[in-house]
Structures are given as structure tokens and as C-alpha cells.
Amino acid sequence: MSLLSEKDFVVLGKFGAVYGINGWLKINSYTDIPEGIFDYTPWQVKFQGNWQTVTVSSWKRHSNGLIAKLTDINVREQAQAYVNAEIAVAANALPALDDGEYYWKDLMELKVVNEQGYDLGVVTDLMETGSNDVLVVKANRTDAFGKGERLIPYLDQTVIKQVDLTAKQITVDWDPAF
């Protein structure tokens, strides 16, 4: 059992369905390069509210996806307990980034204001669209434009003018009516 809290972990993927009878599981990777999920160890999996460490003994590509076998999981019934469980690693296991680069987790819950100082809301999620990432910003309840949510493209220098992690704020060039 770990004493670390939810915010000390970064979710990198999720276990999918059981594969075969020998305890293999399908892996849904959220990393840029799907196989990259195996570069991070040890994995943490949440069971009954507690984070537990699991070790991958083997993995391989299968069709268009990935499958993995966990140490000491040798039959389908044991693997079934992991189906749909999120795969996380300790946040400090992630490599340092260059200046101006951020992990999505770093942008969550940051206040978003436009260059005129209008409070657009708070980042609640990010989406990958293929062409660019998009900030999902939950507007304030008293939003003058009646917005509940805004989708703001993460276009560095064009739309995103400044990310200040210390002030917990993102400044954007964005019309609050959008």
C-alpha cells in the first residue's frame, strides 16, 4: 500500500480486456508513442482505493495494439481483476522538459485569462485533435457571455501567449464570446 496521493501519479494508460488464457492483458497506451508506456516503471494500479505496484514481465505488439503480461499473473481469472484499471507512474518518474514545454497534468486547474484580463475559467481537461491539442476550459458560473465551457486551441504564441505555473495562470489571445 502506498502513502502517495492521487496527485503524485500520472495516468499513462489503461488495461483493456484479457487476452488468451495465460494472464495477458490488452494495453491502451496514452503516451505519444504507444510502446513508450513500457519505458516507465514501476507501474501503479489502483485497487479498492489503494495504489499498488505491478511489474510487467513481458509485452509485445499484437495486431494494431499492445498486450502485456504481469509478473505472477498466470491465468485468465487473475488477469480479469486488472481489466479497465488505470496504469500510472509516479510523477517524478517523468523526464524533465525543456523550457516552454509542459505535461498536460501541469496545465490542469490553471486559470485562463485573455490579454485584456477577462477570466475565461479553469482548465478541466485537454483533448488531442490530431492537428493540435485543445484546452477544455470550464467557465465561471457568472460568465458574462453565458458560456459553460470553452474549447481553446493550444497554439503556442498564436493563441497561448504565456503559461505561468507559479501564478497558476495561462494568458491567451481569445475572444471571450467564443
Per-residue pLDDT of 107-125, as tens digits, reads 999 999 999 999 999 999 9
Q: Span 43-67, mean pLDDT?
A: 90
- In 57-70, which positions are buried (b, 16+ CB within 10 angstroms) versus exposed (e)? eebeeeeeebbbbb
Among the CATH numbers 1.10.10.10, 1.20.1440.230, 3.40.190.10, 2.40.30.60, which is that of 9-93? 2.40.30.60
Q: What is the pLDDT of residue 63?
A: 87
At residue 2 the predicted structure's pLDDT band, cuts being 50, 70 and 90, is very low
At residue 128 the predicted structure's pLDDT band, cuts being 50, 70 and 90, is confident
d(CA 91, CA 155): 25
Q: What is the pTM of this model?
A: 0.67
At residue 94 the predicted structure's pLDDT band, cuts being 50, 70 and 90, is confident
Q: Which residue has the higher pLDDT, 33 or 25?
A: 25
Q: What is the pLDDT of residue 87?
A: 94
d(CA 9, CA 165): 18
- pLDDT at position 54 over 60: yes
Amino acid at site 136: V
How far out from the chain centre does Cα 131 lie?
A: 18
What mean pLDDT is reported for the chain?
90
Q: Span 40-46, mean pLDDT?
A: 91
Amino acid at site 169: Q
Lowest pLDDT segment from 5-19, 74-88, 105-119 = 5-19
At residue 4 the predicted structure's pLDDT band, cuts being 50, 70 and 90, is low
Give CA separation, 137 vs 15, 96, 116, 164, in Å.
28, 26, 17, 16
- pLDDT at position 95 over 90: no
Domain boundaries, the chain: 9-93, 104-172
Among the CATH numbers 3.30.70.260, 1.10.10.10, 2.30.30.240, 3.40.640.10, which is that of 104-172? 2.30.30.240
